[in-house]
């Protein structure tokens, strides 16, 4: 990946670097720790998980951007119905998740029930390598995606499973729209909304 803080469009050749960055970024995320509870294998498994999502889903139906040590996947309003896993992607995710696949499916279904119906952009995920946090790379990616949503005149929605991130999103104009727990003893998620500017 590039060594810049300037967001750039991600391409297929970035898959390895992006999945490594996101695996490190999400290592302490409550939802990822719930899906992938084994400390010893989590980083490698998360790399497979994020690589699958990037190469099979978001690269084709989203807006994927990266900096030197961060990445973000956005889904524009017009791509919401297409940016869902196809059968092969689901098969690969089930293989990666193993005995947690059922919990994952229930979590996806639960979160989908809270997804706003009005047209909007979604921030599917954003993460920065912990070694680069505080360098402004995540903020640059947030500004870039939000500018695109604003240019389209549309609000933006995201879900966070990390309470510590809520003030960051609030700084960028998001407000908590709902709070819900995932089934099966899963973590709490906060749905957050930002009107277009």
**pLDDT value of residue 1:** 43
**pLDDT value of residue 4:** 66
**pLDDT value of residue 60:** 92
Q: Are 86 and 17 in contact (CB under 8 A)?
A: no
Match domain 8-194 to its CATH number in 3.40.50.1370, 3.40.630.30, 3.60.15.10, 3.40.50.300. 3.40.630.30
**pLDDT value of residue 86:** 85
Please report, for the chain, the start and end positions of each structural domain, with discontinuous segments joined by +.
8-194
Helix H or strand E segment including 137: helix 137-151
How large is the greatest C-alpha to C-alpha distance in the chain, in angstroms?
A: 44
Q: How far is CA 138 from CA 66, 106, 112, 116, 135, in A?
A: 9, 29, 25, 24, 8
For residue range 40-68, list pLDDT tens digits in order: 999 999 999 999 999 999 999 999 999 99
For residue range 119-128, list pLDDT tens digits in order: 999 999 999 9
Query: What gap in Å lies between CA 168 and CA 70, rounded to an integer?
Result: 15
Asked whether the whole model's pTM tops 0.85, one would answer yes
Q: Are 67 and 27 in contact (CB under 8 A)?
A: no
In a 3-state reduction of DSSP, which class is residue 185? coil
C-alpha angle 106-111-116 in degrees, rounded to nearest 5:
150
For residue range 139-170, list pLDDT tens digits in order: 999 999 999 999 999 999 999 999 999 999 99
pLDDT band at 195 (very low <50, low <70, confident <90, very high): very high
Task: Report the mean per-residue pLDDT for the chain.
Answer: 94
């Amino acid at each position: 990946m590039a060594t810049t803080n300037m967001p750039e469009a991600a391409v297929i050749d970035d898959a390895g670097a992006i999945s490594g960055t996101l695996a490190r970024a999400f290592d302490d995320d409550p939802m990822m720790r719930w899906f992938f509870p084994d400390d010893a294998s989590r980083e490698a498994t998360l790399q497979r998980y994020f690589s699958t999502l990037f190469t099979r889903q978001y690269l084709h139906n989203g807006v994927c951007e990266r900096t030197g040590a961060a990445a973000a996947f956005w889904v524009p309003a017009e791509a919401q119905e297409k940016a869902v896993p196809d059968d092969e992607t689901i098969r690969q995710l089930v293989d990666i998740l193993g005995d947690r696949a059922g919990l994952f499916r229930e979590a996806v279904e639960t979160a989908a029930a809270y997804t706003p119906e009005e047209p909007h952009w979604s921030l599917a995920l954003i993460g920065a390598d912990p070694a680069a946090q505080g360098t402004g790379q995540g903020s640059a990616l947030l500004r870039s995606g939000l500018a695109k949503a604003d240019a389209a005149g549309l609000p933006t929605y995201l879900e966070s499973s990390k309470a510590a991130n809520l003030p960051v999103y609030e700084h960028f104009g998001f407000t908590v729209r709902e709070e819900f727990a995932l089934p099966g003893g899963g973590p709490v998620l906060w749905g957050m909304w930002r009107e277009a500017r």
